[in-house]
Amino acid sequence: MARRELAKAYEPWDVEEKWESHWEADKTFTPDPDGPGDPYSIVIPPPNVTGVLHMGHALNLTLQDILCRFHRQQGRNVLWVPGTDHAGIATQNVVERQLKEEGKSRHDLGREKFIERVWEWKQEKGDRILGQIRRMGASVDWTRECFTFDDQRARAVREVFVELYRQGLIYKGDYIINWCNRCHTALADDEVEHEPKPGHLYHIQYPLADGSGHLVVATTRPETMLGDTAIAVNPEDERFNHLIGKEAVLPLVGRKLPIIGDAYVDVAFGTGCLKVTPAHDMNDWELGRKHGLEVLAILDEDGNINENAPERYRGLHKAEARTVIITDLKNEGLFVGVDDHDHSVGACYRCKSVIEPHVSTQWFVSMKPLAEKARAAVPAQTKIHPEHWTKTYYEWLDNIRDWCISRQIWWGHRIPAWTCEKCGALTVSITDPSACESCGSRNIIQDEDVLDTWFSSALWPFSTLGWPDKTPELARYYPTSCLVTGFDILFFWVARMMMMGLQFMERVPFHDVYIHALVRDEKGKKMSKSTGNVIDPLDMIEKYGADALRFTLTSFAAMGRDIKLSEQRIEGYKHFMNKIWNAARFAMMNLPDEIPAVPLDQTSSLADTWILHRLEEVKTTVAEATAAYRFNEVAQTLYKFIWSEFCDWYLEMIKPALYGEDEAAKAATQKALWTVLSETMVLLHPVAPFISQEIWSVLPRPAGDDRSEDIATLPFPSPRPQCLNPDAVARMELFMGVVSGIRNIRTELLIEPAKKLDLLVRTANDADRGVLESTLNLIRFLARVENVTIGPDVKGPKASGAAVVQGNELFVPLAGVVDFEAELARLDKNLAKLDKTMKGVSGKLANPGFVNNAPPEVVEGEKRKLAEMEEEQTKLAQLKARLESVME
């Protein structure tokens, strides 16, 4: 069979498509639950079916893939489960926008037809994100793909809901919830995004009912005063505590309000008097419950003033009502004034509309009993990395409120509860009931609401493994090994999975949680479409390949530190991929069809001995760093080893052996070269799977090596302690120092690379002299030197370039090599020209007319130009001084 070759240039797109298709068709990543190896499992954080791959996804997928491929190499039985989330609100919004373009609404279709329409959209476009995950090279088991709204997951959701209801942990009741006027649904607390915004603090007089004066109340929302049912003051506040028990009159309405005392009131905020509106503020709701206050809602579900307000304001949107109310207060002389005030505003995490607190009948999960178990499990059973996120996890659980799980939409798991129209009893059932379980009436109606999307995804670690059925996967792979996720869903998802896993599986859902950092732009700003700084991972894959993107993200994935990403960095790692490719091509041109059977520990070559030692160290570092989630250390170790040590030094050093007449030396070097290259590809594979796979597939093998062509199935390289040789490292460091010293002299003094030089070395000791003499031919070859003198008494001429390496003094005679007069004249000419240009730029920057009137970016450009010229001036002056110092 003809020997396969690597293409002249690395074109990642063909390689990626080929191996991605091969792995999926061959079911390379489909494990046997009954197969050998300790289990290692990960469930993919399910992206929304509406989503497209962004850089956070790319980082998350890369890190999970590294872990899965690495643990396969360790002999583990690895399962990585893929899947998507039905994303109730987001998906419904997408389809409703389509209907709006057709001049329709979901109500025109009706519930059943609308759900059919959403499923049609899902089948057509909802799997787009899965194709993008494939582009990243994710080694998931595609045969076990899951969806939070498929039949198996629907069974799990019903089982959990019904069981929690029977345990008294799910209940239905009136409560103040977060309401989105746009999406027309309730939201959980952690589905509300809070951000500071500029606003105002309005000061309003509330007359005392006995006519003895008034109180001034400060509020950010004057329109909600129509729903006030009390005024609160702090009992310790001497200004107002004598009024507790009296009444005030609600302006514009005339309703009498009790004045209550509560330590919750901040005496330093506003005026120290707090209007209490239990139906429209979370904290006021708690005050109202505590003091038995009336709950009066004055806003409907669209954010309009309802029938509970005076007729003048009914039907007005809340923003319009605010304007009218302020005008009326001014007309009645009750408006004191307004101050600027920045405050936190909550917005819907889906449509970004401002959230309105709203009292409504909803379904809730009682969280405190579940939260106690989840808190106790960390870190005893589950460890969070980085550790500082544990404190955040605790704080959320310690201050948790009941979880509102009902949503007023149609796309989602419909709540399995039926109300009897005859007796009013609730029937909660796993299967659809035909009659009321209380009175037997068949006149029952299912609840219109659906469950919060996070309810189904909270079951993900065990529902994806087949629960409630007792499947082989569930028995083998639960608890999962590690969850890799972003910090932004630590509460949405991670904590809830902990609760549900402990409640229904009686074990934690994962042993480790790795919280990865945020991917920002190169200036450290958060990526967003509005600021135009988004780097699209799919664009980067098209331009530079998946491996380059993956390696970039891994290189900067330091635990606890955000990633500052730029396209230039990705392009830089594409050059690294090219470097690997070219190194492999060089090796292929110098390796025989069958690798020689030479024992590695018998090589006498310094280059071979040193690189084999370094390979052992790299194997240890990569294994330890991956296991400890130090992903950046993995990438940086591989980068330094491959680029600097293997390519820049080793491949250059072995050329004389490969091209020489000594067949034994050539065979030993070929064996070492093949060993290092092949094992390095296995080490590289978890980070850069495609290029490593392609190179491995064309490498020749030693006789009897029948290992698979599929690198994804190979074990991690075994250690070779016999190849550790610290003495070779010490000798190599001296050798590299000498070669680098000569190269630096050549560079500093602008000596042409092809110019042959002489070298004199005053050695520090006999051992160093022996090392240099034994590597003399390599020094000549790599440093391009001709005549070499080595000894303890060597002296160099005055006109020499000099360097010191580990106490050994290097001299490169410059007579006949450098034309000092010509070089000094050239430097003087360049310095004069540079000085003239710098004066022009300095004069411009000293001119107030230019600095004050020119665009800021132009001024900054001139400053950068001056700084660059100053740096160049310093370098030229240093070179001139260097030449003058070595002239005779």
Q: What is the DSSP string of 816-881?
A: TT--HHHHHHHHHHHHHHHHHHHHHHHHHHH-HHHHHHS-HHHHHHHHHHHHHHHHHHHHHHHHHH
CATH of segment(s) 728-813: 3.30.2320
Residues 6+ apart with CB under 8 A from 571: 543, 544, 548
* φ and ψ of 706, to 5 deg: -110, 25
Q: Which of 98, 88, 78, 94 is nearest to 46 (CA)?
A: 88
- 661-689 in b/e form (b: 16+ CB < 10 A) is eeeebbbbbbbbbbbbbbbbbbbbbbbbb
Three-state SS across 645-678?
Answer: HHHHHHHHHCHHHHHCCCHHHHHHHHHHHHHHHH
Extract the runs of DSSP E, i.e. beta strands, from 611-763: 701-702, 757-762
Whether pLDDT at 733 is above 90: yes
Average pLDDT of the residues of the chain: 92
Intervals of CATH 3.30.2320 along the chain = 728-813
pLDDT digits over 2-42, tens only?
567 899 999 999 899 999 999 999 999 999 999 999 999 99
The residues near 815 (Cβ < 8 Å, ≥ 6 apart) are: 797, 799, 888
Neighbours of 444 (CB within 10 A): 23
Instruction: Outline which parts of the chain fall under CATH 1.10.730.10.
Output: 542-679+689-701
Distance CA 517, CA 455 (A): 25
Mean of the pLDDT values across residues 338-346?
81
701 DSSP β-pair partners: 594
Q: Which fold has domain 820-886?
A: Helix Hairpins (1.10.287)
pLDDT exceeds 70 at position 1? no
Interval 421-459: pLDDT, tens = 999 999 999 999 999 999 999 999 999 999 999 999 999
What's the predicted TM-score (pTM) here? 0.83
**Average confidence (pLDDT) over 266-279:** 90
pLDDT at position 343 over 80: no
| 888 has pLDDT over 60 | no
* Alpha helices in 46-150, H assignment, sequence order: 55-73, 88-101, 106-109, 111-125, 128-135
Q: Which of 515, 507, 453 is nearest to 482 (CA)?
A: 515
Choose the most confident range, by mean pLDDT, from 691-700, 743-752, 874-883: 691-700
| Amino acid identity at 648 | D
Question: What's the mean pLDDT in 487-512?
Answer: 93
Residue 626 and residue 264: Cα distance in Å, rounded? Answer: 49
**649 pLDDT higher than 90:** yes
574 is in an annotated binding site: no
pLDDT of residue 188: 67
Bridge partners of 275, per DSSP, are 231
**Residue among 64, 67, 124 nearest 95 (CA):** 124
**Mean pLDDT of all residues in 283-294:** 89
What is the distance between the alpha carbons of residues 840 and 273, in angstroms, rounded to a whole number? 65
List pLDDT tens digits, range 127-137: 899 999 999 99
* Arithmetic mean of pLDDT, 673-691: 98
| Confidence check: pLDDT of 729 > 60 | yes
Mean pLDDT lowest for which of 146-150, 298-302, 455-459?
A: 298-302
- CB neighbours of 587 closer than 8 A, spacing ≥ 6? 651, 673, 674, 677, 699
Query: pLDDT tens, 204-236?
Result: 999 999 999 999 999 989 999 999 999 999 999
Judged by DSSP in three states, 501 sits in helix
Q: Is the separation of the CB atoms in 775 and 735 below 8 Å?
A: yes
The confidence band for 126, taking pLDDT boundaries of 50, 70 and 90, is confident
Start-end of CATH 3.90.740.10 domains in the chain? 185-356
Q: What is the pLDDT of residue 2?
A: 53
Architecture of domain 542-679+689-701: Orthogonal Bundle (1.10)
The fraction of the chain above a pLDDT of 90, given in percent, is 72
Q: Give yes or no for residue 345 having a pLDDT over 90.
A: no
More confident residue, 840 or 190: 840
Q: How many CB atoms are located within 10 Å of the residue 367 CB?
A: 18
Distance CA 181, CA 358 (A): 10
| pLDDT the model gives residue 102 | 95
pLDDT at 190 over 70: no
Q: Please give the pLDDT value at position 529.
A: 79
pLDDT at 3: 63
Which pLDDT tens digit goes with each residue over 833-875?
889 999 999 998 999 888 888 888 888 889 988 998 898 888 7
Q: Where in the chain is the domain with CATH 1.10.287?
A: 820-886
Q: How far apart are CA 797 and CA 38, in angstroms?
A: 68
The CATH T-level fold of domain 185-356 is: Isoleucyl-tRNA Synthetase; domain 2 (3.90.740)
Each residue of 530-573: pLDDT tens digit?
788 999 999 999 999 999 999 999 999 998 889 999 999 999 99
**pLDDT value for 422:** 95
Q: Model confidence over 685-707: pLDDT tens digits?
A: 999 999 999 999 999 988 888 88
Pair 361, 172: CB distance under 8 Å? yes
